[in-house]
Each structure stands twice: as structure tokens, then as C-alpha cells.
Amino acid sequence: MKPEIDYSLYLVTDRQLMSTPTLEEAVEQAIKGGATLVQLREKTVSSLDFYQIAKSIKQVTDAYHVPLIINDRVDVALAVDAAGVHIGQNDLPAEIVRSIIGSDKILGVSASTLDEAIRAKESGADYLGIGAMFSTKTKTDVELVSMEELEKIRHSVRLPLVLIGGINLETLPHFEGMGIDGIAVISALISAKDITEEAKKLKKAVSQL
């Protein structure tokens, strides 16, 4: 059965940016501060390394009953029995991923336009990652999503919306009253000197939108 997901504070990992000695520590500290969902994102490692990292991170997320989502790699998600997978517009089509992972796994899809959002919903997505909202260190070549486009997506697509791309305590107030369901953060959390404290602040800020 598909789990109920709290999307409010969604940690996306990046080992190049983390302030802790290990990724396990970073994930645990974020969860202790209120992270409700963790996406493991590894773009440059081998399949074996990704699998082993995923197994290790899942031990942490399982201990705190927080769902683990795997970025892009459907095979790794299934191999470690993750809660689900998140795909972008250049990955396998969402309907194909849904057919592979079945109905009990969470499927997230990145979208930056209303058309992409509608197509993702029709293809079986459970939630949408909307962005990039602002330019970031991790993705410098993306087109930004305007507030007008975000409003169109929110009005037209009845799925949880998670914003990503330069989301932090300074930029969050821009989205007050927009009806978003959560924020996905990378550097705002993983690079923080005190990840737990930063997560608490972000969680509180999201709850006030």
C-alpha cells in the first residue's frame, strides 16, 4: 500500500556540498530537524556504489520512519526497496516508470511548465517537483519557472507540489499563499554548519506559508 507522504521539508542529497564527514550524518541531522522526506541523488557514481550508498542511507531513513526516494535510478530504487523514485523530463517516461515500480511506490516527476505538469499527472505521478524557482549552484543551466507558471500549475493540477531550486529562508516568503505542499532543498540544508537547526527553521517557515 502506498504510504501517506508529508512533502513539507524534502531533503535532496549532494555529497559535494555537505558540511558533515558522511552523508549518513547529514541525512540523520536533517531528519532530526524535521526533514520529512529524503531523496538520494547520485549523478557520478557507479551502479554498485549507488546501490551501496542507498542501502546505507535507507538504514538511517528507516530508523526514523522517513521515506527514501531515489533520483532517476528505478533499478536502485527497487533493489533497496525504497519508497519511490523521482525522475526528470529526460529520464524514462513516467508511464513506463509507473509500470515498472507498480502502484505501491511513490513516483515524483520534475516539471517546469503547465504542459509537463499535466502530462506527468496523466502518466501516474504522485507529486511534482516544480523548478527551478531560482538559479542554484547545483543546476546553473536551467530555465526558471515564473510565478505565473507556478500559479497555472497550482490551479490546474491536483497533485502535491514541491518547489525546488534556490529555496531557502530568504526566498521562501515569495511563495506565501501559493498553496504549495513542500520545498525540496539541497545546499540550504546539506551545506549548513548546523543542519538540524537549519532544518527546524525551514520547517517552521514552510508551516507559515
Name the phi and psi angles at 133, rounded to 5: -80, -35
Q: What does the alpha-carbon distance between residue 37 and residue 57 come to, in Å, rounded to a whole number? A: 12
User: What torsion, rounded to 10 degrees, do the Cα atoms 87, 93, 99, 101 define?
Assistant: -20
Q: What does the alpha-carbon distance between residue 116 and residue 27 come to, in Å, rounded to a whole number? A: 30
Tell the residue number behind the cell numbers 554548519, with chain if given.
193
Catalytically active residues, by annotation: 41, 110, 139
Q: What does the alpha-carbon distance between residue 209 and residue 163 come to, in Å, rounded to a whole number? A: 13
Provide the grid cell at 57.
542511507
